Amino acid sequence: MAAKYDVVVVGSGNAGLSAAVSCVVQGKKTLLIEKHNLPGGVASSFSRGRFEFDPSVHEICDVGAGDDLGHVGLIMEKNGIDVDWVTVPDCYRCISKYSDGTPMDVTIPAGREAYIDAIEKYVPGSREPLEKFFDLIYEIRLAKVYMFDGTPNDPKYMQKHFPNTLKTCGYDSLSVMKALKIPQKAIDIIGVYWPYLGVPLDEVNFFHFGNMIDMYVTRRAVVPHHTSHEITMTFMNRFYELGGEAWFNCRAEEFLFDGDKICGVRTSMGDVECDQVLANINPHIIYANMMPKELVPEREKKLYAARKNNLSTRFSMIYFALNKSCEELGLTDYCVFFAGTADSRKEYENLKSIDNDYNILISYNNIIPDASPEGTCVISFTKLFSDGKDWSEMTAEEYYKAKDKMIEKCIEDVKKNLNIDITPYIEEVEVATPMTFARYLGTPEGTPYGFEVKSWDGVIARMTDIEADFNIKGLRHIGAGSFFGDGYSSTWINGDMTAGLACADLEEGGK
Min dist. Cβ of residue 7 to another protein (A): 14
Distance (Å, whole) CA 190 – CA 490: 20
Report if residue 374 touches another protein, rule: CB under 8 A. no
Q: Which stretch binds another protein (CB under 8 A): 106-114, 134-142, 245-253, 351-359?
A: 245-253
Distance (Å, whole) CA 20 – CA 18: 6
Report if residue 145 touches another protein, rule: CB under 8 A. no
Q: Which stretch binds another protein (CB under 8 A): 127-135, 255-263, 297-305, 346-354?
A: 297-305
| Concatenated DSSP letters of 401-444 | HHHHHHHHHHHHHHHHHH----GGGEEEEEEE-HHHHHHHH--G
CA-nearest of 22, 4, 128 to 478 is: 22
Report if residue 359 touches another protein, rule: CB under 8 A. no
Distance (Å, whole) CA 265 – CA 278: 11
Per DSSP, helices labelled H in 99-226 are: 112-122, 127-147, 155-161, 163-168, 173-179, 184-190, 206-213
Min dist. Cβ of residue 460 to another protein (A): 6
CA-nearest of 161, 165, 203 to 347 is: 203
Number of residues engaging another protein in binding (CB under 8 A): 101
Distance (Å, whole) CA 24 – CA 45: 25
Which residues from 152-181 bind another protein, rule CB under 8 A?
Answer: 152-155, 158, 166-167, 169-170
Of the candidate residues 82, 121, 332, 464, the single one contacting another protein (CB under 8 A): 464
Which amino acid, residue 82?
A: D
Q: Which stretch binds another protein (CB under 8 A): 13-21, 73-81, 131-139, 233-241?
A: 233-241
Of the candidate residues 66, 150, 259, 510, the single one contacting another protein (CB under 8 A): 150
Q: Which is nearer to another protein, 96 or 313 (CB)?
A: 313
Q: Which is nearer to another protein, 225 or 346 (CB)?
A: 225
Which residues from 471-500 bind another protein, rule CB under 8 A?
Answer: 497, 500
CA 300 distance to own-chain centroid = 24
Q: Which stretch binds another protein (CB under 8 A): 66-74, 256-264, 341-349, 393-401?
A: 393-401
Per DSSP, helices labelled H in 224-282 are: 227-241
Distance (Å, whole) CA 284 – CA 447: 12
Which amino acid, residue 478?
A: I
Contact 369, 86 (CB under 8 A): no
Distance (Å, whole) CA 137 – CA 133: 6
Contact string 409-438 vs another protein (x = CB under 8 A): --x-----------x-xxxxx----xxx-x
Q: Which stretch binds another protein (CB under 8 A): 132-140, 174-182, 254-262, 396-404?
A: 396-404
Q: What is the end-to-end Cα distance of the chain in Å, rounded? A: 20
Report if residue 444 touches another protein, rule: CB under 8 A. yes
Distance (Å, whole) CA 453 – CA 208: 9
Report if residue 466 touches another protein, rule: CB under 8 A. yes
Contact 125, 183 (CB under 8 A): yes
Of the candidate residues 59, 90, 139, 230, the single one contacting another protein (CB under 8 A): 230
Q: Which is nearer to another protein, 379 or 497 (CB)?
A: 497
Report if residue 313 touches another protein, rule: CB under 8 A. no
Q: Which is nearer to another protein, 114 or 285 (CB)?
A: 285
395 HSE (CA, 13 A, CB side): 2
Q: Which stretch binds another protein (CB under 8 A): 6-14, 65-73, 195-203, 279-287?
A: 279-287
Report if residue 141 touches another protein, rule: CB under 8 A. no
